[in-house]
Chains A and B, each alone.
Chain A
Amino acid sequence: MVTQVASPLRSYTDGRATVEAAGATVRELLADLDRRHPGIRFRMIDEQDRIRPHIRLFVGTAPVLDLDRRVAPGERLHLICALSGG
């Protein structure tokens, strides 16, 4: 599955804006992403398994509220950094 990576996270993906990851749920996708790009998951998901406040995940155009949300083949996961300024 193609994963779209926001710019603050591209230091983990060698600068690439899209990377591949495999998994049937968002949780599995993030685990696979972390195997391929170590450290990326913890910058988005905290130690209590919660999406960090300024991170937004989307499958297609649907926001991810539950990491166990299933993803269908062909769907795209978006890792977005929400507004956080100053």
Chain B
Amino acid sequence: MLRAMKHTIWIGTRKGLFALRSDARRRTWRLAGPQFFGHIVHHVVQDPRDPKTVLVAAKTGHLGPTVFRSSNRGRTWKEASQPPAFRRAQPDETPKAVDIVFWLSAGHAGERGTWYAGSSPAGLFRSEDAGDTWAPVAGFNDHPMLNVWVQGPGTPIGQLLHSVRIDPRDARHLYLGVSSGGVFESTDGGADWRPLNSGCAADFLPDPEQAYGHDPHCVEVHPARPDRLYQQNHCGIYRLDRPGERWLRIGTSMPRRIGDVGFPIVLHPTDPDRAWVFPMDGTSVWPRTSIGGKPAVYHTSNAGKSWRRLDRGLPRSQGWFTVLRQAMCADDREDRLGLYFGTTGGEVWASTDEGGSWRCLASHLPEIFSVTHAR
């Protein structure tokens, strides 16, 4: 049944929302859009519990951030009646306002209608009505340690809260990542949090064993083995097998000339040993493009013990790709998994043989922030 359904690749860009739609065989793709023309679309997520529902995190250059919701797979949209917003500051507090809704995650399968959002400046928000109204998660946003854990400006667009992950076995077990903060875990539904960064390098911090302040780019919990986490960090690729507490740097097995710096990491939907990354140049002034102008995806099938380069069909030279953390995804075809990524140069590339070969599906789009799969 699933194999017969069509595929949609939602593409969030600096100038609006696009969609690539294909038949079930993923051979012919048609580009549609833009919707929300001129809006900055940071994330687009289909609800796996209710596939007709899609949420979009957006803002414009002038207007404040918001969330749009569709209940018909993106044909029409309604704005959230109460977008994510921090609580009103007390007189002795520094006021904070959401500048960007950066990240969206559907909640636990057993809590239909719940969603989480991450913002810049770093904040966590929860909706219980399919994204119509949002409330701040006080356990994180008002945590007494937050201003210690997360310091500095973070990225050029601020401290980003991202990678909100829910343990499929327990709705109260949450993980999230914060740029210039690290990975954090809650086991009580977000009421309290603790850092989970042991083993992660932070070359920019004076103390190599500091508990927080790290820069995770993307954190994933494997859906079939939720005790296994993967992380693409500013300083390497890591794996954590719970109940362990210390991340293992699996990026050291990448070729030295490639390194293990990048933004996204994508997991196989059913095999916890398989993952794909898109390395970028993190040398000297941090160009953050494909190393040597030769874009490639790297794949592990043994949980990071070794990696294989996959670049057939990608440019052989002068291919200066940057792929942001939300701009790479997999589809759900387990027999021949599809992989997709979008570049800041406005191209979308796809593979329908698990990265073995690539072709360009779209060009000349605006800067791409988000590439996600939907059925």
Q: Does A15 count as interface, using CB distance less than 8 angstroms?
A: no
Interface size class of B (residues with CB under 8 A): 10 to 19
User: With A47-B86, A52-B64 given, can you name 20 additional A-B contacts, CB distance below 8 Å?
Assistant: A8-B63, A39-B66, A39-B81, A42-B66, A44-B63, A46-B64, A47-B87, A47-B88, A48-B96, A48-B97, A49-B88, A50-B95, A50-B97, A52-B63, A54-B62, A54-B63, A55-B62, A55-B63, A81-B62, A82-B62
Query: Which residues in A have their C-beta under 8 angstroms from that of B63?
Result: 8-9, 43-44, 52, 54-55, 81
Query: Which residues in B have their C-beta under 8 angstroms from that of A43?
Result: 63-64, 66
A43–B83 Cα distance when bound, in Å, is 10
A85–B83 Cα distance when bound, in Å, is 24
Can you list 8 A-B contacts (CB < 8 A)?
A9-B63, A43-B66, A47-B86, A50-B97, A52-B62, A52-B64, A54-B62, A82-B62
A85–B62 Cα distance when bound, in Å, is 9
Tell me which residues from 1 to 15 in chain A have a Cβ below 8 Å from any Cβ of chain B.
6, 8-9
Q: B63, B79, B95, B98: which has the most chain A beta carbons within 10 Å?
A: B63
Mask, A54-67, CB within 8 Å of B = 1, is: 11000000000000
A52, chain B: closest CB distance, angstroms: 5
Q: What is the total of A-B residue contacts with beta carbons within 8 Å?
A: 52
Query: Which residues in B have their C-beta under 8 angstroms from that of A39?
Result: 66, 79, 81
Q: Does B85 count as interface, using CB distance less than 8 angstroms?
A: yes
Assuming A47-B97, A48-B95, A48-B96, is B85 touching A42 (CB within 8 A)? yes
Tell me which residues from 64 to 90 in chain B have a Cβ below 8 Å from any Cβ of chain A.
64, 66, 79, 81, 83, 85-89
Q: Does B252 count as interface, using CB distance less than 8 angstroms?
A: no
- Measured CB to CB, the nearest residue on chain A to B63 is A43
A42–B59 Cα distance when bound, in Å, is 12
Residue count of chain A within 8 Å CB distance of chain B:
21
**Contact status B62-A8, CB under 8 Å:** yes
- Measured CB to CB, the nearest residue on chain A to B61 is A84
**Contact status B60-A8, CB under 8 Å:** yes
A86–B60 Cα distance when bound, in Å, is 11
A47–B83 Cα distance when bound, in Å, is 10
A46–B98 Cα distance when bound, in Å, is 8
**Contact status A44-B64, CB under 8 Å:** yes
**Contact status A85-B95, CB under 8 Å:** no
Assuming A8-B60, A42-B64, A43-B63, is B88 touching A48 (CB within 8 A)? yes
Query: Which residues in A have their C-beta under 8 angstroms from that of B83?
Result: 42
Assuming A48-B95, A50-B97, is B87 touching A84 (CB within 8 A)? no
A73, chain B: closest CB distance, angstroms: 29
Query: Which residues in B have their C-beta under 8 angstroms from that of A48?
Result: 86, 88-89, 95-97
A4–B37 Cα distance when bound, in Å, is 23
**Contact status A46-B85, CB under 8 Å:** yes
Query: Which residues in B have their C-beta under 8 angstroms from that of A82?
Result: 62
- Measured CB to CB, the nearest residue on chain A to B85 is A47
A86–B88 Cα distance when bound, in Å, is 31
B283, chain A: closest CB distance, angstroms: 27
A48–B97 Cα distance when bound, in Å, is 7
A9–B66 Cα distance when bound, in Å, is 13
A39–B86 Cα distance when bound, in Å, is 16
Query: Which residues in B have their C-beta under 8 angstroms from that of A85?
Result: 61
Q: A44, A48, A52, A84: which has the most chain B beta carbons within 10 Å?
A: A48
B119, chain A: closest CB distance, angstroms: 11
**Contact status A54-B97, CB under 8 Å:** no
A44, chain B: closest CB distance, angstroms: 7
A8–B95 Cα distance when bound, in Å, is 26
